[in-house]
């Protein structure tokens, strides 16, 4: 494991995953000796500090722990502005790096390639030159598997050239992986691919409602565009954060690419997810939840305000089509490498879905959906 002399550089600390990593660092006594530097997009360290504190409050971190992060922990900059902090003398002490920064929007964000590919490469090239670097973890996504993956995906199957992607985000992450391997063959690089990250196992959607709205949408429609026996690989953000910290600090790893997912055994079927919603909403289990086509779901458009809250109906139809495509994959991601190297198996989505529902029920589905398209 890491020593008290280790210094972690974390890029993306104000995001959903980065905030979970930092909250774990502050609340886990085992990690209290790990020094940390946070790359934050801000004009001044004080402004960056405020952004970090605001992010941590989403995870219900105590004010005492929050205040352990000070201006001296803040490095002002981002993936696309590495030249602004490359010469910061504090980086000379960095031994460990986690990069979970980037644009995660599923919408047509104009800077997705500039940030997720060009910025990622610039950041990796910069930190690869640090004198004491022991490990660089780049956080990718298991969804680089494209639109036609096998039922169980192994790490070495991807990335693949000329693959059809549902969104530019996953395509950009696949290209970043390819170029990192090609351009930095001697870097102590480890690529980690979380699967679909939804909620927090204890806080539900308080930190972020990302993607959970899609399950709420399906439940409200009482239909899904996949067989009810089809499974989907979902993990909570705190599990991913804990796993990343384990992997970055491990004395030895046996692989350079890992999935962080539920795997075939812990993935949940859509029928099980429907039952979990019924328990959370204290309603009787019914047989009205069914498989349907996108066109059948679209026929309910006159009822969208009632089902989803006041919304742009065209936008909701597009979101429904996109997430229906992901739901239809029936794919799990092999997690045996991570388990072999000491990462525990995650909770099942149905075990903490009630926390996600209870923390979301006062937010309209349409409002929650905007998180993933900003």
pLDDT tens for each residue of 287-341: 799 999 999 999 999 999 999 999 999 999 999 999 889 989 999 999 999 999 9
* pLDDT score at 32: 77
pLDDT at 75 over 70: yes
Question: What are the structure tokens assigned to 291, written together?
Answer: 């498989």
| Locus of tokens 């009822």 | 303
The Cα-based distances of 309 to 108, 148, 213, 363 in angstroms read 24, 33, 12, 9
pLDDT-based confidence at 276, cuts 50/70/90?
A: very high
* pLDDT score at 33: 83
DSSP state string for 55-115: HHHTTT--HHHHTTS-GGGEEE--GGGGGGTTT-GGGGG--EEEE--S---SS--TTHHII
DSSP state string for 113-133: HIIIIIIHHHHHHHHHT-TT-
* pLDDT score at 2: 54
Please give the CATH number for the structural domain made up of 7-200+233-268+331-348. 3.40.50.720
Tell me, what DSSP letter sits at residue 3? -
The whole-model pTM stands at: 0.96
Yes or no: say if 176 and 140 are a contact pair by the CB < 8 Å rule.
Answer: yes
| Model pLDDT for residues 6-34, shown as the tens digit of each residue | 999 999 999 999 999 999 999 998 887 89
Yes or no: say if 209 and 360 are a contact pair by the CB < 8 Å rule.
Answer: yes
Spatial CA neighbour of 24 closest among 349, 353, 248? 248
Tell me, what DSSP letter sits at residue 139? E
| Model pLDDT for residues 133-162, shown as the tens digit of each residue | 999 999 999 999 999 999 999 999 999 999
Report the alpha-carbon distance of residue 17 to residue 21 in Å, rounded: 6
Residue 26, CA atoms < 13 Å, CB-side half-sphere: 26
pLDDT at 285 over 70: yes
The kind and range of the H/E element at 266 are helix 263-266
pLDDT-based confidence at 64, cuts 50/70/90?
A: very high
The kind and range of the H/E element at 197 are strand 196-197
Sign of CA dihedral 51, 55, 57, 63: negative
Report the alpha-carbon distance of residue 116 to residue 118 in Å, rounded: 6
């Amino acid at each position: 494991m890491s020593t008290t002399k280790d210094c972690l550089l974390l890029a993306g600390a104000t995001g959903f995953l980065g905030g979970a990593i930092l909250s774990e660092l502050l609340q886990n006594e085992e990690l209290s000796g790990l020094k940390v530097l946070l790359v934050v997009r801000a004009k001044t360290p004080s402004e960056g500090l405020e952004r970090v504190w605001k992010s941590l409050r989403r995870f219900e971190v105590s004010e005492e722990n929050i205040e352990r992060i000070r201006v001296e922990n803040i490095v002002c900059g981002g993936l696309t502005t590495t030249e602004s902090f490359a010469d910061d003398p504090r980086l000379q002490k960095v031994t460990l790096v986690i990069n979970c920064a980037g644009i995660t929007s599923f919408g047509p964000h104009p800077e997705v390639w500039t940030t997720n590919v060009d910025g990622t490469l610039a950041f990796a090239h910069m930190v690869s030159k640090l004198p004491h670097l022991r490990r660089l973890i780049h956080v990718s996504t298991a969804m680089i598997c494209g639109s036609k993956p096998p039922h169980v995906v192994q790490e070495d199957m991807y990335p693949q050239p000329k693959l059809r992607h549902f969104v530019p985000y996953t395509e950009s992450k696949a290209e970043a992986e390819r170029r990192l391997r090609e351009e930095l063959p001697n870097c102590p690089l480890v690529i980690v691919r979380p699967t679909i990250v939804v909620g927090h196992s204890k806080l539900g959607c308080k930190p972020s409602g990302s993607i959970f709205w899609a399950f709420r949408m399906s439940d409200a429609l009482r239909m899904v565009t996949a067989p009810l026996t089809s499974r989907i690989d979902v993990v909570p953000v705190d599990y991913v954060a804990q796993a990343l910290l384990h992997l970055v600090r491990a004395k030895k790893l046996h692989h350079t690419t890992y999935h962080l997912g539920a795997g075939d055994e812990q993935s949940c079927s859509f029928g099980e997810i429907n039952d979990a919603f019924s328990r959370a909403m204290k309603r009787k289990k019914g047989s009205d939840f069914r498989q349907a086509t996108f066109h059948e779901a679209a026929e309910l458009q006159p009822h969208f305000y009632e089902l989803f809250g006041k919304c742009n109906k065209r936008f909701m139809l597009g979101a429904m089509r996109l997430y229906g495509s992901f739901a239809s994959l029936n794919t799990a991601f092999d997690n045996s490498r991570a388990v072999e190297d000491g990462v525990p198996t995650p909770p099942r989505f149905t075990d903490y879905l009630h926390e996600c529902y209870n923390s979301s029920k006062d937010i309209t589905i349409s409002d929650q959906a905007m998180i993933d398209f900003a």
